[in-house]
Amino acid sequence: MTAATESSSLGAPESVTRRADETTAGAGRGDWRALATQPLLVAVGVLAFVLWRANATLTETEARQLGWTALWTGIREHLLLTVASAVIVLLIAVPLGIALTRRPLRRFSPLISGIANTGQAAPAIGLFVLLATWLGFGFGTTVVALVVYAALPVLRNTMVGIQGVDPRLVEAGRGMGMSAAAVLFRVELPLAVPVVLAGVRTALVLLVGTATLATFIDGGGLGVLINTGITLSLDSLLVSGAVLVALLALAVDWLGRVVEHVARPKGL
């Protein structure tokens, strides 16, 4: 083990669990206020952008790139990349995380977390390009790269969430005659929900950000705006792309928080 992988394998879960703690602490009125503030900020941001776009004097190239249809296509592609990758991440990482906390597979958990850690520690752009040389350019490859990149927080939090359930509760469940499956579905998973969802939200935000790199392997999305802005030295395009991605990330993060708030089991 080199020092670099060592620190990354420690660093990532820490940040993940810290986020989890943040969201599990207290569900009072302050929480709702925070939840209400975020969409307000996003709305203000969107409004500001729309006003600027409607009133700015733009060159022909800028106007074409920032046309309402072009923008809408970019946003749609970006969301599609994010959602498709997120769904695949959920389908793979949650069951895998659960399986790795079961007794027969528990010994593989360091190996799998190691692999997942490497996936996240690798520079995203390198991952995109490597996969593209292997699988070819396009939407599919982008989704594969995004899945590899974002699986870690969900996998990690699923495992941490389940491992964080008081072992005495598991014993109490078994001791009263619940089967192993019943304990998993009625005790361990419900109690792990807040931590798992925090991981999902982290992954979503990562996905929105990382999906901007899709443009380099012909995957579309808002990265196209940013990339064009850079190559043509058009700051208006660059900033528009960046602002839109940021607003999208904030909106997705907010949705995640709402889901966490609603899905958190009562009594915790």
Partner 1 sequence: MSETTTPATATPPDRRVSGVSIRLDGVTKRYPGQDRPAVDDVSLEIPAGETVMFVGPSGCGKTTLLKMLNRLIEPTSGRIHLGDEDVTDQDPDRLRRRIGYVIQAGGLFPHMTVGTNVALVPRMLGWDKRRTATRVDELLDLVGLDPAVYRDRYPRELSGGQQQRVGVARALAADPPVLLMDEPFGAVDPVTRLRLQDELLRIQEELGKTIVFVTHDFDEAVKLGDRIVVFDVGARVVQYDTPEAILANPAEEYVADFVGAGATLKQLTLTRVGDVELRQVTTAVVGTDSAQAVAAVRSAGHDFVVVLDERGRPISWPTLAELTRTTTVPAAVDERLPVVDLRSTLNDALDTMLAASQGGVVVTGRREALAGVLMVESVMAAIQRSRAEVAG
Binding site for partner 1 (CB under 8 A): 168-169, 171-179, 182, 186-187, 190-191, 265-268
CB of residue 105 to partner 1, shortest distance in Å:
20
For partner 1, the closer CB: 6 or 21? 21
CB crowding 145-160: b at 16 or more within 10 Å, else e? bbbbbbbbbbbbbbbb
Specify the length of the chain in residues.
Answer: 268
Question: Can you tell me the distance from the alpha carbon of 217 to that of 135, in angstroms, rounded to the nearest whole number?
Answer: 11
For partner 1, the closer CB: 41 or 263? 263
Distance of CA 103 to the CA centre of its chain: 28
CB of residue 53 to partner 1, shortest distance in Å:
47
State the amino acid at position 192 in one-letter form: A
Structural contact between residues 96 and 155, judged by C-beta atoms closer than 8 angstroms: yes
CB of residue 66 to partner 1, shortest distance in Å:
49
For partner 1, the closer CB: 54 or 262? 262
For partner 1, the closer CB: 95 or 265? 265
For partner 1, the closer CB: 150 or 195? 195
CB of residue 36 to partner 1, shortest distance in Å:
26
CB of residue 175 to partner 1, shortest distance in Å:
4
Which candidate, 122, 163, 125, places its Cα nearest to that of 12?
122
CB crowding 19-52: b at 16 or more within 10 Å, else e? bbeebbeeeeeeeeeeeeebeeebeebeeebeee
For partner 1, the closer CB: 1 or 25? 25
For partner 1, the closer CB: 106 or 186? 186
CB of residue 182 to partner 1, shortest distance in Å:
8
Structural contact between residues 158 and 116, judged by C-beta atoms closer than 8 angstroms: no
Please calculate the CA angle 160-110-178 and round it to the nearest 5 degrees. 50
Tokens encoding 129: 């390009």
State the amino acid at position 222 in one-letter form: L
CB of residue 233 to partner 1, shortest distance in Å:
56
141 phi and psi angles, rounded to 5 deg: -60, -40
